[in-house]
Amino acid sequence: MSTCNPYGWSYDQPVYFGKHSVKTHDRRARGSFLTFLLITTGFTLVALCSNAQTSSDKGLKNYYKDFFPVGVAVSPEVLTGAERELIIKNFNSVTAENVMKIGRIHPEENRYNWEPADQIVAFGEANGMKVRGHTLCWHNQTPDWLFKDKDGKQVSKDILLQRLKEHITAVVTRYKGKIYAWDVVNEVIDDSASKYFRESLWYQICGEDFIAKAFQYAHEADPNALLFYNDYNTENPTKRKKIIELVNKLKANGVPIHGIGLQGHWSIFEPSETSLRESLKQFSALGMPIQITELDVSVYRSESGRREKMAEEPDEFTAEMEQLQLEQYKMFFKVLREFKSSISGITFWNVTDKRSWLDNFPVRGRKNYPLLFDQELKPKKAYWEVVKF
Ligand code: HAH
């Protein structure tokens, strides 16, 4: 009698013409009601089984309310897109993925592009979220004009520091009292064992002085903002030792640094539980808050250089990846919960597997699946492991 349609209703509704007796009408109505019940129950079960984020799911941030804020890196586009409700339900902190980087917010010496950054700050405020700033000084996504004079020649240390000061003062002042924590300096430690600092233009022109100066300028602009040094590969003992030395030196010199950002670009293969715990132990011993600032769990092994995807290279999300990823996420959050007294925030780098920076890094065009929500914006199996404790 009934044909199911996608809206869960029968096409074959009872027809109430005089031709039918009252009895027939009643029987039909009862039949339709039973069909309706069966269909709606069926749909509810299917919804539950397919891991849709149902109303019984509190949303990630609420499972972690006694531990730490849970944040996400966003672009202005996702705030008006299909992801909007998911972000509001699951996260209580936001970071601008790109639009506060120097190249985006300060593309020319005398021009700031505030609009996209303002949108993210306004969204955070409107939804009662914490807002983190990322990032005031980095070697990437940084415009050429910073390092060149009007004749195209490289600027002096004095001029570069003056420009850094102007930049940091303008950006931090604009969001004073709205952005509670800044990644002030990003990734200045070299990955190799043979070099201490990264050979960036900042370093080549200023030596290491720009690091302390960046913190000082930011602190002058907003004395209440928490200022972080942020880096990746922090579970690598050689790199970690250098980061810890740098942070200790800054502290000893009275530089206003208040926290350490461990990016957390991890994978289904690393870090191990032992090395993550060791890393958190060493960083928390510095006595300042730690945040995991850019968490994602790649389904591929790490590679040092960038490259194109090879034509035949697979990029499906296999059952094996799904399993390793849920185990890894489960372990990471177990360890992170253990360190709750040192960790003042965790931020995911992107919202869902629909789009991640890892779709183009380090391999351009190779799809990755690093987050807790899938391409249909549904919680993945890993999500349920993270909230089950
Ligand atoms: C991060 N770098 C950056 O902090 C963030 O701003 C960007 O959007 C994505 C990742 C990670 C990184 C890198 O820049 C170079 C090599 C490895 C990892």
Mean pLDDT over 142-158 rounds to: 97
Cα–Cα distance for residue pair 222/172, rounded to 1 Å: 7
Ligand 1 centroid from CA 127, angstroms: 27
Dump pLDDT digits (tens) for 238-249: 999 999 999 999
| Amino acid 100: pLDDT | 98
Residues of the chain with pLDDT > 70, as a percent, come to 86
> Does ligand 1 lie within 6 Å of residue 97's CB atom?
yes
DSSP string, 9-50: -BS------TTS-HHHHHHHHHHHHHHHHHHHHHHHHHHHHT
* Residue 153 DSSP symbol: P
What is the whole-number distance in angstroms between the Cα of residue 176 and the centre of ligand 1?
Answer: 25
Question: CA 66 → CA 63, 294, 340, 344, 345, distances in Å?
Answer: 8, 21, 9, 11, 12
Q: Amino acid identity, residue 277?
A: R
Give residue-wise pLDDT tens across range 214-254: 999 999 999 999 999 999 999 999 999 999 999 999 999 99
Determine whether the shortest distance from the Cβ of 298 to ligand 1 is under 6 A: no
Q: Residues 281-297: pLDDT tens digits? A: 999 999 999 999 999 99
Q: Is 267 in the pocket of ligand 1 (CB under 6 A)?
A: no
- Which range has the worst mean pLDDT, 12-16, 168-172, 195-199, 258-262? 12-16
Q: Nearest Cα to 224, choosing from 171, 268, 182?
A: 182
pTM for the predicted model, two decimal places: 0.88
Torsion on CA atoms 241, 302, 94, 379, rounded to nearest 10: -130
Cβ neighbours of 151 (radius 10 Å):
5
Q: Measure CA of the first residue to CA of the last residue in the chain; give whole Å.
A: 46
Distance 29 CA to ligand 1 centre (A): 62
Lowest mean pLDDT among 29-33, 126-130, 330-334: 29-33
* Peptide bond before residue 135 is cis, with ω within 30 degrees of 0: yes
- Residue 191 corresponds to which tokens in the numbers above? 């990955």
Annotation marks residue 294 as catalytic = yes
Contact call for residues 348 and 86 (beta carbons, < 8 A): no
Atom of ligand 1 nearest to the CA of 97: 8
